Amino acid sequence: MVVADKAVESGMSPEYVASRIVEAVCARESEVMIGPLLYRITVYLRNFLPNVYFSVMRRRAWQESVMYRKTS
C-alpha cells in the first residue's frame, strides 16, 4: 500500500500539468511556472527582492528550529 503525504495529495493533477506543458511548448514559452499562486509569488520575490525573500526564509527556518527543539 502506497501512502501519499499531504503535499502530494493536495497537488495538481497530472492531466492539468501535462496540458499546461503542451500549451507552453506550442506557445514557445521559454519558462513556465506551474504551481499555486503563493509559490509563483515566491519566485518573483526571490528574483526582484532577494533581501526580503532571504529575511523571510531565515525567520521561517529559525521558527521551525525553535518548534523542533520544543518537541524534542
**Pair 12, 34: CB distance under 8 Å:** yes
The pLDDT of residue 7 is 67
Q: Is the dihedral of CA 37, 38, 41, 46 positive or negative?
A: negative
- Report how far residue 11's alpha carbon sits from residue 6's, in angstroms, rounded to the nearest whole number: 9
Query: Nearest 10 degrees: CA dihedral of 59, 65, 8, 54?
Result: 20
The pLDDT of residue 9 is 76
CA-based max dimension of the chain: 51
11-69 per-position pLDDT tens digit: 888 899 999 999 999 999 999 999 889 888 999 999 999 999 999 999 999 999 988 88
Q: Collect all residues with Cβ–Cβ distance below 8 Å to 65 and sequence separation of at least 6.
A: none
